[in-house]
Amino acid sequence: MLEWVKDDSNQQRGEIVLIIDAAPPADNQDDALPDETLRTLKIPASELPTKQAATLAAQLTGANRKILYDVALEMKNS
């Protein structure tokens, strides 16, 4: 790309836009959570709405609330 900009004077005058694709999603996100975090999520997930259970578990463990929410949904659906 550097050579292309050096060789083309029009490219030296303006801005350039790079489009970078996002990383692919992780295959199995609940594997990334420690067992203790999963145990911490399990009790509130059985008693509270999913959003509240995930928020509480995130506050207690410091884990990502979105991941905990997804795992709690899987727990409730299985």
Measure the CA–CA gap between 21 and 69, rounded to whole angstroms. Answer: 25
Domain range list for the chain: 25-78
Q: Where are the alpha helices (DSSP H) in 1-78?
A: 2-7, 35-47, 50-61, 65-77
| List of residues 6+ apart from 26 with CB closer than 8 A | 32
| Residue of 28, 76, 34 whose CA lies nearest to 52 | 76
Q: What is the pLDDT of residues 45-57, one digit of tens each?
A: 999 999 999 999 9
Mean pLDDT by 10 residues, the chain (78 residues): 82 79 68 87 94 96 94 90
DSSP state of 13: T
